[in-house]
Amino acid sequence: MNAVSRAVLSPCIGVCTLGVGGLCLGCWRSADEIARWSLLNDEERLRLMDHVLPERERRAAHAALPERPILQRALHPLDRIPDGQGWNHDELVDLLPPGMLREAAVLVGLVPREAGTAVLLTRRTDDLRHHGGQVSFPGGSVDRLDAGVVAAALRESREEIALPGSLVEPLGFLDPFTTISGFRVTPVVAVVDKGYVAQPNPAEVAEVFEVPLAYLMESRNLRRVELDYKGRQRTVLEYDWPGQRIWGATAAILSNLRQRMELIA
């Protein structure tokens, strides 16, 4: 980049309106930074444009999540990981494999979109050992080297769908859930930057898609389905979404989110 082109660098996109925080809603500069822009040297301008302003935009996207105030009251806080067995454990006690439950974590990613908050979901590849072909949240077992359930959820999300931790803001936890395959799953609810572009790992994930949170929070869109499992009748939860069947553990975790939010609203 030559000296002439560097000298006229500007992040202005023509949306010159200051928001509540005193930052321009178009370029994320403060009024003082806009006034002093012509006095800044090239290094100062590039530092703002490459690092400071993008970070402000990411924070603004996180803060724009309309459900944030309710979620902050509805979720278990990040400094108090919920303990105990899954809230559904008693329903499965005679169906679980022998031995201790294995610890797992999933990321319940909420993406702030202009049309409303969306939930980030995946459809697993058909040949996976656990829950192949099913709709799920990014996540998996807590490994020995993971610092905890949040670290595990972030690591698995990075491995499965190339979601960088820098684009995720964990908010809190839902109640642990027991899966019939013998896992105690801790759901980590988080804001995912709307600029994230999905890159599914073809060895694990067939598809990444989003469903409006408002749809999933409507009780009339959730139904109970009776099925036979190992000679016993079980009731599982299920959502219908065009081209997808959202059921089992994923639907149950979403139902738990709805119930906890309804207690606060």
The domains located in the chain, with CATH, are 3-63 (no CATH), 69-264 (3.90.79.10)
What mean pLDDT is predicted for residues 25-44? 90
Amino acid 5: pLDDT = 43
pTM value?
0.77
Share of the chain above pLDDT 70, in %: 90
Identify residue 185 by its one-letter amino acid code: V
- Largest Cα separation within the chain, whole Å, is 77
Instruction: Give the residue from 143, 191, 148 showing the smallest Cα distance to 169.
Output: 191
Q: Which residue has the higher pLDDT, 98 or 160?
A: 160
pLDDT at 88 over 90: no
- Give residue 128's pLDDT: 59
One-letter amino acid of 55: E
User: Of residues 106 and 179, which shows the higher confidence score?
Assistant: 106
Average pLDDT over residues 225-250: 82
CA distance 186 to 154: 13
Instruction: Find the mean pLDDT for residues 26-35.
Output: 90
pLDDT at 141 over 60: yes
d(C-alpha 174, C-alpha 185), whole Å? 10
188 has a pLDDT exceeding 80: yes
**pLDDT band per the 50, 70, 90 thresholds, residue 2:** very low
CA gap 15, 25 in Å, rounded: 7
What's the mean per-residue pLDDT of the chain? 87
Q: CB within 8 A of 212, min separation 6: which ones?
A: 115, 116, 117, 118, 119
Contact in structure between 120 and 109 (CB atoms under 8 Å) = yes
Give residue 199's Cα distance to chain centre. Answer: 15
